[in-house]
Structure 1
Amino acid sequence: MSQWQKTREGLREFALTLPEAYEDHPWGDTVIKVNKKVFVFLGVDGESEKWKPGFSVKLRQSHGHALSVPGAAPAGYGLGKSGWVRILFTDDMPEADVLCDWVEESYRIVAPKRLVARLDAAES
């Protein structure tokens, strides 16, 4: 397993620990959802000519920080206008704990308030 695949798997595992998060595979991509809404796009399992390994999350507070990562850009399909950022899996990316923080921030934006409250209660 390559380093980017290990990082991707770590993000997937972390995302699935959040309240009522579940994995789905629309369009052949791996996404993690809560309340039928995607909060992290993990893409496909392998690299291809058209797809470079990376992930996308919706950010507010960390938006600028995420965009400062080499290779990061507003997500395609018009999602960038809503705060979605695509981060490529590279050697220059932040540590795993920062990436998990971004996944959690995206979850907090997308999840219902009752689930965010449940997450806050579990963290205290």
Structure 2
Amino acid sequence: MIGRDKFGQTPYNFAKDKESRNEFRKFMGQYPDRYDYKTAQIPSALTNDMELERKQKAAEKKKQQKKAKQERLKERREGDAVKEAEEKEKKRFLALSDRENRALAAEKRLLKNLEETGQNTPVMR
């Protein structure tokens, strides 16, 4: 019979940390017929192959998380650079005189019309 404490917990259930629980499962893998593991409430055996596979999956997951974090940082930096360029352009535009602003607006309209018509060079009349 499996020993239980006064609350009816088996040693496996009483072990709170993962390492201790894994020791019970490793023992079950080494000696499958030694005890009644079902009564002891030990879920399944843990072999070296299973443990190695779990570690590899964890390493791969960590690697993917690191890569995703680096991509997010890169995107954030690029976004910051775009915002900085927009702010710089806005300050430059605000520093222009009224005449320069009108000339710039006319130039933008001209370039927009060129894009719409598909022409490469402006046609001056």
In the superposition, the TM-score normalised over structure 2's length comes to 0.20
Higher RCO, Cα 8 Å, sep 6+? 1
Which one has the bigger helix percentage? Answer: 2
